[in-house]
Amino acid sequence: MSRSLSRRRAFGRLAFASLFGLACAAVQAQSFPSRPLHLIIPFPPGGVTDIVGRTVATRLSTELGQPVVVENKPGASGILGTELAARAPADGHTLLVGNISTLAVNAATFARLPYDPLTSFVPVSMLAIQPLVVAVHPKVQARTLSDLVRLARANPGTLSYGSAGSSIHLAVEFFNTLVGAQMNHVPYKGSTPAITDLVGGQIDVLFDPFSSLYPQVQAGKVRGLAVTTASRSQVAPDLPTVIENGVAGYDVSSWQGLGVPAGTPQAAIDRLHAAVVKELAQPEVKEAFAKQGAQASPTSPEQLQQYVRAEVARWKKVATDAGVKPQ
């Protein structure tokens, strides 16, 4: 057999294999999903991560032609539900709504995790981003965030701040580091008791997600000073940013992203990504998110992977600089 004939036959076999692989991928994409999907939210009902997740689930069910069953699996700063999702079959039928805590801050505040934020999941898309609101009790002599900074610097250790979780704790410690202030940390198990104590004057300062804290600002029960994102919130344009108050480099978001267990077929990831991007562009979804002070923020899987990687590195450094030791 001539070498040219042998090469042609080898090329033919490669071409056939490539076409066969493409055909199989197309079949997989068309057949997925083949049964109901399960969307794990590692937090209790009612919070912004739950609301974002349920909004996504409702639309995905219509888009994919299969029910999307929402399962709230709270506990241990979101670790229990996130571990459950990581150990699920990697077939695209189990989804995780991760957030800044489960996919970034936990890696900085826990010495050991039963999952790896960077390798246990394949990102699908960012879902939403929202700012934190910085607020004080009316008794605090600060009309602006700049006032608060001056007050905290002049009276180290006299102001108290609450945190509903490790992500808020590190967000405030990051702020303290940048402005050279010292405020006393009071931990809480959730936003509700922290807000209750801020309204009652048991703590002086609170950084908390927009959806939880801004209604108290609107009601006049606490004084809103700023939002923590680089840009003002479209829902509360009267609140300046922390950066506008002279704290350069302070850009902190509460965010939610959709992921699937590592090893999930690419065809399933592609189908999910296309469905999510289409869903996040819908006016009713944007409106539902806006009610929580959140902005629909679709990304490619690669962009979300890069974002999570940067967030993990960022919050590990913040924890180290603030002297927060992993549990």
C-alpha distances (whole Å) from 177 to each of 107, 149, 318 are 20, 11, 9
Mean pLDDT to the nearest integer, 147-160: 96
Length of the chain: 327
Q: What is residue 241's DSSP assignment? A: B
Give the C-alpha separation, 113 to 99, whole Å: 15
Q: Domain 35-128+257-296: which topology?
A: D-Maltodextrin-Binding Protein; domain 2 (3.40.190)
Domain spanning 131-245, CATH class: alpha beta
Cis? peptide before 301, omega within 30° of 0: no
Q: β-strands 37-41, 94-99: how paired?
A: parallel
pLDDT tens digits along 276-320:
999 999 999 999 999 999 999 999 999 999 999 999 999 999 999
Closest CA to 108 of 319, 256, 322, 308: 319
Element (H, E) at 317: helix 301-322
pLDDT of residue 327: 86
- The H or E element containing residue 2 is none
Residues 6+ apart with CB under 8 A from 163: 169, 171, 172, 185, 186, 187, 188, 194, 207
269 close to 124: Cβ distance less than 8 angstroms: yes
For residue 171 the two structure tokens come to 């967000």
The pTM assigned to this predicted structure is 0.87
Q: Read off the pLDDT of residues 174-200 as tens digits, 9 standing for 90 and up.
A: 999 999 999 999 999 889 999 999 999
Distance of CA 253 to the CA centre of its chain: 8
How does residue 9 score in pLDDT terms, banded at 50, 70 and 90? low
Question: For residue 303, what are the contacts with CB-CB under 8 A and spacing of at least 6?
Answer: 126
Q: Residue 165: which region, alpha, beta or left (left: phi > 0; alpha: psi -120 to 50)?
A: left
Rounded to a whole number of angstroms, the distance between the first and last alpha carbons of the chain is 69
DSSP 255-299: EEEEEEETT--HHHHHHHHHHHHHHHTSHHHHHHHHTTT-EE---
What's the chain's average pLDDT? Answer: 92
pLDDT tens readout for residues 22-45:
444 444 446 899 999 999 999 999
Does pLDDT of 21 surpass 60? no
In order, the DSSP letters of 149-166 are HHHHHHSTTT-EEEESSH
Q: Positive or negative CA dihedral for 162, 163, 168, 174?
A: positive
The domain spans of the chain are 35-128+257-296, 131-245
Residue 229 pLDDT > 90: yes
For CA atoms 259, 261, 263, 266, give the dihedral sign: negative
How many other C-beta atoms lie within 10 A of the C-beta of residue 45? 12
Of 162, 196, 212, 206, nearest to 46 by C-alpha is 212
